[in-house]
Amino acid sequence: MFLKILIIAIVLISLSMMGMMLNILVKKKGRFPEYRVGHNRAMRQKGISCVKHDEIHCHNKRLKESQGCSGC
């Protein structure tokens, strides 16, 4: 019984993977969707940026303020 369910699960997962692969190959500019915030165009249009970039910006701002620079 377990082996039968395992085989069915493997077949279903492989069919879904083949469907995704064919979807990417058939599209004119088929690519995997960007999941990283910094590279996702829709996120950038909404003004959402990567947390790492925000931290670097804030860290640099704090360094400038501690040195007496009012540039940022």
Alpha helices in the chain (DSSP H): 2-26, 41-45, 51-66
State whether 6 and 40 are in the same domain: no
- The domain in which residue 71 lies consists of 33-72
Q: What is the three-class DSSP state of 59? A: helix
The model's pTM: 0.41
26 and 1 in one domain? yes
Number of domains forming the structure of the chain = 2
pLDDT score for 54 = 72
Please provide the average confidence, as pLDDT, over all residues in the chain.
78
pLDDT of residue 23: 80
Task: Please give the average per-residue pLDDT across 15-43, as a whole number.
Answer: 78
Please report which confidence band the pLDDT of residue 72 belongs to, taking 50, 70 and 90 as the band edges: very low
Choose between 53 and 7: higher pLDDT. Answer: 7
